[in-house]
Structure 1
Amino acid sequence: MSFFNAIKILLPRAKAFDLTQDSKLKSFFKGLAVLPDDVKKETELVYMDLFPESTRAMDEWEKQFSVLFADEQYGDTRRGILTSLWQANSGGQSLKYLEKLLQNISIDIRLFENNPIKNPRDANAVFGCMCGQKQAVCGNKKLNCGYKDGDSEFTPTVIRNDSDQLYDIPVDTSFWENYFFVAKNVVYNSRKEIIYCQKLYLDAKWKAFVEYLILKVKPVHMGALIFIDYIENYDQTKMRGRKNA
């Protein structure tokens, strides 16, 4: 409700105080209401500065988290990253919550539980058929439609606590009981096991933020297997012809 409408309600119900018609009295009270309305609007804007998704003081939020962005380099994602850094301090630890934070960087980032447990050594590529079967042959002896989907040469990154280096992927499947996958998408077999993780392409400038948020939010005992290929000066338009882009 505007302050002018509040004044109308407070005035006596009498013809002398009728503000429905243009008059000097109406102009007088409208003039009185201008300053409180301006104060109210400014106060609301100041309150919204408390949140990175709506603040007008982006530079102050950068100081809060000791990060510095260049507008031309990070664009609108700058605000999304600051929002994720803020929410990571007081949010949950579920995969869905972490996925929501990471999607402020790229909407294509998705997280998947490794359940039933699957050794990710063979999750880089999968053989399939044009007819939709995710296997080496489709059963039609007169039709040869097999193809390989994915990049078997790509080595995913393993992220876990108390580490500043890459880890080799162990052969022991039970090692991956407490790991989840970060990828663009996954393919399941009939037993609901992940048989293929679709690699995601991102600009290399997002790498530090993705890894920081994962380490910040995930439970300490959990680890992440990252199927992201970071490319310097990545341009989405140049990757349209690639199957995984």
Structure 2
Amino acid sequence: MIEEDMARLIELNEKIVSQNDEIIRLLLKLSGEDKQNKDTGSSLDKVNLGFDVDVDEDGEVVVHPVSSNVKSKKTVAKKENTLFDTNISTKSGESLSDLNLDAGEVLFVGNSDDGSADIYKLSVKSSDELKVFPKEIEEDIRNKISDYNCEITVDNLTGSGITTQYNIPLIAANESLVQNAILDAGTVILDDESFDNLSDIIKLAMENGAGKVHLSLKNAMAVINAPPKLLEYLEFYRNYEQMLDKIF
């Protein structure tokens, strides 16, 4: 049954974002939850999330999905993050939702080589040759896209470490440049891998003002016991094509 439910979950995630309530029901089912047992404790509790869970009179979790699957750029109301206390750690002192991004720029969270999780900004600009900053990641980038002329910069906004968890953010940044489209304020994109410290990464993003965190479906099992309110701020993608459909 677990395999069947997970297959159903993947199928639902490929459809419109408005089906998030069904995804939540399946996530709860996979974790053994039901109407009589709404225990929302999880490994995320250890970072003191402090969520309120909305339950209607029938005992169903109430979630208000917010769609980011918009093809044309529109002015949208800023989503208020009420799940975490604000704890801005960016060097500029700005919330992620207040950062002014340009086309070709993406925010992401990655594990740094110094052992910390940090928030990064990845920028892709047109260039007559491939240029990479910082130089420490140039070899890794060239091994991936050696025949692509552009300028790629990865800036650590909260620390001094370097990360290589930028493959999906790089794809998103390039598409942003190609389409000349700016991502919605506070959008954070995680790389396509399973994170052992997912709770720390989500907490860091949300405390710094993230309005939506896009992450691989590989991490779905890590949040099956998380407070359902959290899932309003998470968008799962199965592959990079689906991720691009959701953000543009």
> What interval of TM-score do these two structures reach, taking the shorter chain for normalisation?
under 0.3
TM-score w.r.t. the length of structure 1 is: 0.24
Which entry has the higher C-alpha Rg, 1 or 2? Answer: 1
TM-score (norm 2): 0.24
